[in-house]
Amino acid sequence: MSSTVNDQELKSRLRAMWASGDYPQMVGTFLLPLGPRLVEVCGIQAGDRVLDVGSGTGNAAIPAARAGADVTASDLTPELLDVGRTVAGAEGLELTWVPADAEHLPFADDEFDVVMSSIGVMFAPHHQAAADELVRVCKPGGTIGLLSWTPEGMIGDLFATMKPFAPPPPPGASSPPLWGSEAHLDELLGDRVTFARRERAMLEITAFTRAHDYGEHFKAFYGPTIAARANAEKNDLAEKFDVALEAFCDRWNRGTDEQARFEAEYLLAVGTKG
């Protein structure tokens, strides 16, 4: 079987994973602050040509359009783009919505003033290929902005918790939260991007009364968790998976038994293409 066919099958599985559950519900419950934050730090203005890679439901693309930018939102999963298109349409915003693989973007070299991704491109399995595409489609002197979960933070630990139960990663794949490591970004981008700003910050999550409700939310709505638990169930490890996820929630609860509070660390990195 050719590598091209293998890649197509892999991306098909990834599309199906992200279409499972209800990722838009997760965005609406606690992820909404991230997109506007990235748009603000990127300094997006009216007239900028902006590409949002791994846009999902448009959590960063829509705020960029509100700023008057000419925005293209791309994502591997058309179902997520459909949700974003509906949200934008209700506001009277016009964006271009393009189903696209972050490792093979269907855009010209040097096409965009700003190329950004909020917890999106980090989930492309082959990090170097995706990083190369970000640089390729950004114009010289343009802005590249990334917001990614960190390996040391809560979502990094979530992926570590799920790893023993999840299907084996495809050949050459890297762990998504590595994008939240400054050293990893340096390896991916080298001297092609000069970062003016790299800082770690916390997303505070207070949407859940009990700590374990957070884990139930992941099991119901989050594609990677749904896939990991399905694989655990196939291997008669569902109960162990549930116990591990509950322990994860207890470990990261910064609130009380009556009101849970979580803090998810992310890396915000904004730089200029040389």
Residue scoring higher pLDDT (7 or 42): 42
Q: Which CATH architecture has domain 3-203+265-273?
A: 3-Layer(aba) Sandwich (3.40)
Check residue 2 and give its pLDDT.
Answer: 42
For the cut 60, the answer to whether the pLDDT of residue 86 exceeds it is yes
Check residue 5 and give its pLDDT.
Answer: 55
pTM comes to 0.95
List C-alpha distances in Å: 202 to 108, 156, 206, 268. Answer: 35, 13, 13, 10
pLDDT tens column, 109-145 = 999 999 999 999 999 999 999 999 999 999 999 999 9
Check residue 4 and give its pLDDT.
Answer: 63
List C-alpha distances in Å: 266 to 14, 169, 207, 214, 229. Answer: 23, 23, 18, 18, 25
Q: Which of 225, 199, 196, 214 is nearest to 263 (CA)?
A: 214
For the cut 50, the answer to whether the pLDDT of residue 1 exceeds it is no
Check residue 170 and give its pLDDT.
Answer: 85
Where is average pLDDT lowest: 7-16, 233-242, 243-252? 7-16
